[in-house]
Amino acid sequence: MPQRVQAGTVIGSILPVIQEELSVGSMEVISGASHDTASAVASIPYSLKEDAAFISCGTWSLVGMETPKAVITEKSYEYGFTNEQCYGQSNRLLKNITGLWILQELQRNWAEAGKYVSQGQMVELAETINHAPAIIDPNDELFSTPGVMTQRIREYCERTGQQAPYTKAEIIRVILESLAESYRHTIDEMEEITGKKINIIHMVGGGIQNELLCQLTANITGRKVVAGPVEASAIGNIIIQLAALGELEISGGKQVVESSFAFKTYLPSLVKVCEK
């Protein structure tokens, strides 16, 4: 096994044979933050980290918060949280839950039936109704594998004594509201196991392009949501490399991200209230 190093360590240069293959000169190799979520978290421009949670939202959702040290308790084990090191050696309390996977699988089902619906059209359909007729648990094993999601959602609703959705608009709305409800439940669990009050949620990743999901997350969690950046993993990775090369103080990464990318803020209401 190679020697372990901290994220942001210059560990050498690419081999001469690779330099020749790529027609480049010597390039330094820098250890990243271990994986995409760690890099994404490194890109978040917190205003106050102590009262903030994050959601890295894509096909899967990683919900968590940064803490000074690992949270290892019976409750954290029971709720399914993990502890991983952040760049800078703080702790990342984390839970992996379902993200837009169900919506993406639904989109695939409809496309195979010759009725393709884009992500934008899905949002437009969901906005035609005010409330979902039912709430599902996106983390139920019923939704964990490829299949006909419309049928599975109806099966879940019938099993739990809820009104099953039938129109496309109802089905999409059920998925989005259920995701937001799953986020709320997970964040409430984090408050319980850390004893900290979470007032703001930073959402990053491709999923934040679904503005309805961001707004529903604010509405259902009752917390302010700041969405951005979209390409958080790549941006965090770049920040760590620049810091390793002495081109950027890591403390200045926040200002660089804020001045380089668009952010949208959602408050618990029916209207998106701020954009910068």
In three-state form (DSSP H/G/I as H, E/B as E, the rest C), the secondary structure along 144-205 is CCCCCHHHHHHHHHHHCCCCCCCCHHHHHHHHHHHHHHHHHHHHHHHHHHHCCCCCEEEEEC
Query: Which pair of tokens denotes residue 235?
Result: 């941006």
Active site residue 36: yes
Dist CA 240 CA 164 (whole Å)? 47
Residue type, 4: R
Which CA distances in Å does 146 have to 107, 210, 229, 238?
12, 22, 29, 34
Catalytic residue among 36, 51, 137, 188: 36
Q: Put the strands of the sheet holding 60-67 in their side by side order.
A: 82-85, 91-98, 60-67, 52-57, 200-204, 224-227, 264-266, 272-275
* Active-site annotation, residues: 36
